[in-house]
Amino acid sequence: MMNEPNGNYIPRWGMAIDLNRCVGCQTCTAACKHANDTPPEVQWRRVIDVEQGTFPDVERLFMVVGCQHCEEPPCVPVCPTGATRQRADGLVTMDYDQCIGCAYCAVSCPYQARTIMHEERGYFGSKRTEQELATAHPERRGVAQKCTFCIDRVDAGLAQGLVPGVDPAASPACAAACIASAIHFGDYNDPQSNVSRLTAAGENFQMHEELGTHPQIRYLYTHPAVPGRAAKPADEDDARQSDLANPLVGPLQRFWDWRAAMNWCFGGAGSGLAVMAWLAAWIGILPPARLPAVMALAGLLMAIGLFCVFLKIGRQLRFWRAVLRPQTSWMTRELYAVLVFYPAVFASVGCPEPGVAGVACSVAALAALAFLGCQAMILYKARGIPAWRIRRVVLLIGLSGLAEGAGVLLLLLALDPVHLASSPAVLLEPLYGLLILIVLRAIVWRDYVVHARTEGVGPLAHQVLRRLGWLMQPAAQVVSLLIAAPAFLLPSAVAAPFAAATGLIALAVGFGWKYQVIVKAGYQQGFALPRLPQRGSGHNAAPARMSAPARAS
């Protein structure tokens, strides 16, 4: 039994769902919709219809999905406002009034549990019925929503001395309403609870255990006439995993679209520029006096990215709330980097004193580096998108940001006649730097793509990554080098266009891959059935049984 320091007992609410009892009737879905007043196409609780195998060896089953109220919920630490939290009893909560609708939680959930509806509409169109008006929740517009395990029912029930999981009024509507008694709700901290007993007695699994989320829904998959079996390789082959009609396959996320991607594009390039410019100034390529202006340009680029992402969030007027969770959220931290960066840039630009301006630029560069790091971590912490949550993404974002920044810097230098006139080889050093970054980025990219499948990226996303290969493969880098080659050989003034083109290519490649990875390869984590009932046709059928089981009492 778990106890608080003050001695109070703390339950751990969870569910045990029996795959052999569930018939996919969607009564739980309907009951949830009624109990929680969810609008059209929003299903906090739903049951997917799964088919495994190939005729004549086929199995079909129904799987209840929704928020798993993970013990280690990936959605909670990422939230920049604290709108999503976890209670002591394990319930992962939503405060609609705090949420800004950034959707970070949605892309961080490996269970496709979260939704954002930007419009209030009814089942029959824009004119809502009396019932829909009476049960409307304007507070949910533009913010994240998900299953709460009917927290209101549980709390109200407890307050009245009822037992959640036993008394329907104190249980989640889906569990109370389930007409197959397939969904059981209860306290996993109580060894005598229904869910503890069920999971102790029967074989069960937690979905995506390997992600370390420790979900609080356990699936039971055996019955006396139906033993369990492991998933077969054929159930998870590329053809099945590429079929979007297969409900186990995660769909392409729509939470973060091109506007969000632009934050990584412009933000990466801008912050990279700030860092590279500071570096260039430090090693003497860029006159320090010009650094503030370049920093201002970096700030402009980053501002474009931030403005794009501002356009995407569901509740724009609440955007400031994103500063509230620096403890855990890389999105908040990104905002803090911004809050340091811009004053520093302003200071550098506005300050006539070169020393102070230099310090301000250094601070700005440091903040930009932090910003770039935050961007990398934001994507990496989005645990719901397999193509993003790979460690190499962190390095890739960082390197690419620096390469893009170096590209922009080279472009600036190549377009500056004063600078070009200063020395015949003035572009060589930045060009070397850029090419090193490009090559490193290409190497990391290749590593990322090569290992993507083993890191859990599905074939659909992998296909996108492979398609991107032409952009990132060594061959493409050779083209870059070829374009860059004249810049190495010719005097700066003549080489400038080639250097500029090289810088632009570096920038474009960075924009290209980020857009593709975020918008096109952002397939959500699918559902998984590591174990399932041994039932169905042909080889999947339950074994023969030539004696009657024990008699019913």
Partner 1 sequence: MSEPTSTVAVKGAAVIGAASSVSSSKSSSQHRPVYCYQCVAGPDLLKVEVRDGVATRIESNYDISAQHPGGGRVCVKAYGLIQKTYNPNRVHQPMRRTNPRKGRNEDPGFVPISWDEALDLVGEKLRGIRAKGLTDEHGYPRLAMSTGGGGTPVQYMGTFPAFMAAWGALDQGYGAGQGVKCYHSEHLYGELWHRAFIVSPDTPYVTYIINCGNNVEASGGVAGIWREADARSRGCKRIQVEPHLSITGAVSAEWVPIRPKTDAAFLFGLIHHILHERDWANVCDVPFLRDRSNSPYLVGPNGWFLREFESGKPLVWDEADERAKPYDAADLVRPVLVFANAGEHKAIERRVSGFERGADDERHDHQDIAPRTSFELLREHMAPYTPDWAAEQCDVPASVIRRIADEYLAHACVGQTIDIEGHTLPYRPVAVMLGKTVNNGWGGYHCCWARTMLALLVGALEVPGGTLGTTVKLVRPAFSRTGSVQPGEDGFMAFQFNETSREGWQRDPHIRNAYRTLVPLVSDSPWSPALGPAHLPWLFQKKTPDDWPRVTPPDVWICYRTNPAISSWNAPQVAERLAEFPFIVAFAYTDDETNHFADVLLPESTDLESMQLIRIGSTKFTEQYWRHEGWAIRQPVIDPLHDTMDLTDVASELAERAGILDGYIAAINKGAAGMALRDRKGRFDYSLHPHARPARDAIWDAICKAASDDLTAGEAVHDLDWFREHGFQLRPFPQIDWYLHPAMQAKGLRYELPYQERLTRHGHQLAHRLREIGVTWWDKQLKEYEPLPTWEPFPDIWIDYAREYGRDPAEFAFWALTARSMQYSWGANVGLPLINELANNISGHRGVVINRTAAKRLGITEGDELLIESVSGQTRGQAVLREGIRPDTVLMIGQFDHWKTPYARDLDLPSLNSLTDLSLSLTDGTGSGADLMRVKISRSARPVK
Residues 297-316 that bind partner 1 (CB under 8 A): none
Nearest distance, CB of residue 21 and partner 1, angstroms: 4
Total residues interacting with partner 1, rule: CB under 8 A: 80
Of the candidate spans 73-81, 162-170, 388-396, 491-499, the one that interacts with partner 1 by CB under 8 A turns out to be 162-170
Give me the sign of the Cα torsion angle 93, 99, 101, 103.
negative
Q: Which residues contact 203 (CB under 8 A, 6 or more apart)?
A: 220, 221, 222, 228, 531
Assess 238 for contact with partner 1 (CB under 8 A): no
Q: Using the rule CB under 8 A, which residue among 160, 316, 422, 423 binds partner 1?
A: 160
Q: Using the rule CB under 8 A, which residue among 86, 93, 135, 473 binds partner 1?
A: 135
Q: Using the rule CB under 8 A, which residue among 51, 95, 447, 455 binds partner 1?
A: 51
Between 134 and 418, name the residue whose CB sits nearer to partner 1: 134
Of the candidate spans 18-26, 250-258, 365-373, 393-401, the one that interacts with partner 1 by CB under 8 A turns out to be 18-26
Q: Per-residue b/e over 510-541, b at no fewer than 16 CB within 10 Å? A: bbebbbbbbbbbbbbbbbbbebbbbbbeeebe
Assess 201 for contact with partner 1 (CB under 8 A): no
Nearest distance, CB of residue 25 and partner 1, angstroms: 5
Residues 244-273 that bind partner 1 (CB under 8 A): 245
Between 17 and 397, name the residue whose CB sits nearer to partner 1: 17
Q: Do 388 and 382 meet the contact criterion of CB atoms below 8 Å apart?
A: yes
Between 3 and 160, name the residue whose CB sits nearer to partner 1: 160
Residues 519-538 that bind partner 1 (CB under 8 A): 535-537
Give me the sign of the Cα torsion angle 175, 116, 513, 338.
negative
Of the candidate spans 53-61, 92-100, 260-268, 420-428, the one that interacts with partner 1 by CB under 8 A turns out to be 53-61
Per the listing, tokens 């829904």 go with 217
Between 62 and 523, name the residue whose CB sits nearer to partner 1: 62
Residue 56: asked if its preceding bond is cis (omega within 30°), the reply is: yes
Assess 237 for contact with partner 1 (CB under 8 A): no
Between 116 and 322, name the residue whose CB sits nearer to partner 1: 116
214 sits in the region (left: phi over 0; alpha: psi -120 to 50; else beta) called: left
> Over 152-213, what HEC string results?
HHHHHHHHCCCCECCEHHHCCHHHHHCCCCCEEEEECCCCCCHHHHHHHHCCEECCCHHHCC
Q: Using the rule CB under 8 A, which residue among 99, 173, 322, 427 binds partner 1?
A: 173
Q: Specify the amino acid at residue 116.
A: I
Q: Do 158 and 167 meet the contact criterion of CB atoms below 8 Å apart?
A: no
What is the spatial distance between Cα 506 and Cα 410, in angstroms, rounded to a whole number? 10
Between 114 and 315, name the residue whose CB sits nearer to partner 1: 114
Q: Per-residue b/e over 455-475, b at no fewer than 16 CB within 10 Å? A: ebbbbbbbbbbeebeebbeee
Residues 204-233 that bind partner 1 (CB under 8 A): 223-226
Between 40 and 326, name the residue whose CB sits nearer to partner 1: 40
Structural tokens at position 329 = 């959220």
Please state the length of the chain: 553
Nearest distance, CB of residue 161 and partner 1, angstroms: 9
Q: Using the rule CB under 8 A, which residue among 12, 33, 140, 514 binds partner 1?
A: 33
Residues 109-128 that bind partner 1 (CB under 8 A): 123-124, 127
